Structure 1
């Protein structure tokens, strides 16, 4: 019996059973792809079973025609990349866009989380304790990984903790569905999403993970340590030698993959990510431009010391002075490994959280310096307002685009210096208020 066919000359029991069978098949077909349709199917099934009504029950398609055209049009690209029609059809039959991905990709949050709030959450006592438990539980695996890749075990654990809370939440989106949605609907980086989609299809085709188990974030980051498909292709490791690089269900594979990533981006074995430091009175904050590189010994000659009073173990290591919240917050001398972590996620707050969590896991204490929490960072629109005001005051920063770059930091420093303020180049709500009053 086809969908929508009227019932004629059928007994009640036979008609009901046929409708239920057809409905069950419909629900199973759409089950992996749409929670909303899954709920609808269950409701229809229960209604039919309860009432025994002689109705031809079917699940309305409500297909996104544009998405269907995208799927059809993308086939030649996938085929050229070696994807079989069997794989392609098995994956895309019945698929609809991921509603959550559509919602999140267009959401431009104006809120900027202050780095101190970010660190409070990312390096919570609970996450530190869980990390220490994982350090014990996977001690043998981590020892092998550390020996094989030369990446310190606490750094690998910290990334695992940051990305998915040690596997506690790896995302609830089918990666291929999310990537297909982005390739279809995202206004920017279309070619990027298409390449990631092809790579994800190849991963499934090669048998490293089943399509229905390929879970990740709404933007396609996958597994325990959240690799994009292209990163999986380049860096994922087969720790246990079973022929699969399984970052979804094999914790050893996921941890080894993370170590391989860090190794190939230049991780320096046995060295830390950085040091919290104290700056001397009268320090020249122009040196804290996020680029100036000196050895730790050279920084020491400017009066910079470790916050805990200890000596730098290797004074010849190169470092860059970073002030994540300007002169009003803690200061850090960042080493090579800090910037390797930033290759994983190019955000200062993220890399600082990973390094700090790694230290805490192996017994380190909290950050010693205080954050002046009234110096809140600016959101995008506030930054554009700040830039416009700097331009109006004669401190040219270029286009007021809401993005903090070298020109904006230079303009901020010039303004701060002209007003007798500490020229740290940090854009805060306090600075914006001062500019508004300084008409």
Structure 2
């Protein structure tokens, strides 16, 4: 039913030659995926499409205009609710995590950190029908059409091979899906049957998702038993080396006055890079080769920091010692949800409150900020939250 509703909406938005071109392209796609080894029955059912997915077209062309400050990003992804939920789910799936750690050598806390950041422990996996999304990207002039074609073929082969059902291919508009958001070609290459049922099911099998994530990280260069992140304090006027790739001996940092965040001296023989995501006045982080394995999962330093920090919190580690250099901290998920409710109560049209700050919410926040004499930034920050009556 979800797919039918999407098709109906898309059909209403596309007419004339563009629609005919799309339908012709999809007909050719059906032939090409069959030639690649997908059964005609699977290809016909998956690609019974009449119009592009307008939402996917829009998202594929949008250039992000709003850059989230690091303290907002980390505050949203690593709040107390996610830490508490993660600890509970780690207890529930302790056997699978232990087995994954033993087989692949990857810390169970890092595996769980990926799971938590990617999909909130399997709760937010995406609602886009992948064959429709990928066919849209292929058949509407996207410059990466060949890449998306490979992903479509890989996704349908998962169905053809019996790993998944067609109605389980739901995920992000760009093709990532499952509890830890593999793209289909990565799924084909690195997914493992970790629960022993003969299928590699990263959608419904938590054991398969956790084991496959561990396999990914190990193949990305994870070194068993080695560190990945240490919070440090950088002295005023620091002029030493920085950067994830610019790894030097810990003794070099110590000679420049860098200490652990709690003031203890650095020790050990390893080499690390220094990240200062908010500048020299914010938290500093020494990152080791294992951090690069986490980085490989999505190739963004803020993303790898969020996973690493969540992993440390799940392992019982403390909150960051050094505060972010801002007088307007970001909000956690419960506060974001509350902020949206406050905006709705004041007549702002943002749709349903869900705790996710998208374009409509940012526009409403900016208007609300201006209404109380604040600059219209559109940020879900503490100042506007409290100005509207949010809980302290």
Q: TM-score normalised by the shorter chain: which range applies?
A: 0.7 to 0.9
Shift of 1:270: 2.3
Match of 2:3 in 1: 33
Matches within 5 A, 1:339-354: 339-354=292-307
Say whether the 8 Å CA contact 2:171–2:177 is kept in structure 1: yes
**Partner residue of 2:252?**
298
Structure 2 counterpart SS, 1:256: helix
Structure 1 distance, partners of 2:176, 2:255, is 44
Structure ranking higher on relative contact order (CA contacts 8 Å, 6+ apart):
2
Q: Kindly report which structure 2 residues correspond to 1:229-268, keeping only aligned pairs within 5 A, or say none.
A: 229-268=184-223
Contact 2:7 2:53 in 1 (8 A): no
What's the offset of the Cα at 1:346?
0.8
1:24-81 Cα shifts (integer Å, max 9, x gaps): xxxxxxx4533156799xxxxxxxxxxxxxxxxxx9x979322211112224432332
2:133 corresponds to 1:190: no
Q: What's the C-alpha RMSD, in Å, of the aligned pairs? A: 2.4
Count of aligned pairs: 325
Structure 1 partner of 2:368 = none
Partner of 2:104: 149
Q: Secondary structure at the match of 2:64?
A: coil
Do 1:277 and 1:330's aligned partners in 2 also have CA atoms closer than 8 Å?
A: yes
> How far 1:259 sits from its partner (Å)?
0.4
Contact 2:254 2:266 in 1 (8 A): no
1:5-404 equivalences in 2 (<5 Å)? 31=1, 33-35=3-5, 64-185=19-140, 187-285=142-240, 287-312=241-266, 315-373=268-326
Does the CA contact (< 8 Å) of 2:234 and 2:280 recur in 1?
Answer: no
Q: CA deviation at 1:112?
A: 0.2
Instruction: List gaps (5 residues or longer) in structure 2.
Output: 330-392
Q: How far apart are the structure 1 equivalents of 2:229 and 2:138?
A: 38
Cα distance in 2, alignment partners of residues 327 and 210 from structure 1: 50
Q: Identify if the C-alpha distance between structure 1 residues 87 and 111 changes in structure 2 by more than 3 Å, giving closer, same or farther.
A: same
Q: 299-308 or 220-229, which moves further after superposition?
A: 299-308
Give 3-state SS (helix, strand or coil) of 1:326's partner: coil
Question: Following the alignment from structure 2 to structure 1, what is the Cα–Cα distance between the partners of residues 163 and 6?
Answer: 28
Q: Per-residue CA shift, 1:347-375, capped at 9, x if unaligned?
A: 11100000000000111111122222379
Contact 1:67 1:97 in 2 (8 A): yes
Q: Distance in 2 between matches of 1:36 and 1:109?
A: 24
The answer on whether the counterparts of 1:33 and 1:95 sit within 8 Å (CA) in structure 2 is: no
TM-score, with length taken from structure 1? 0.70
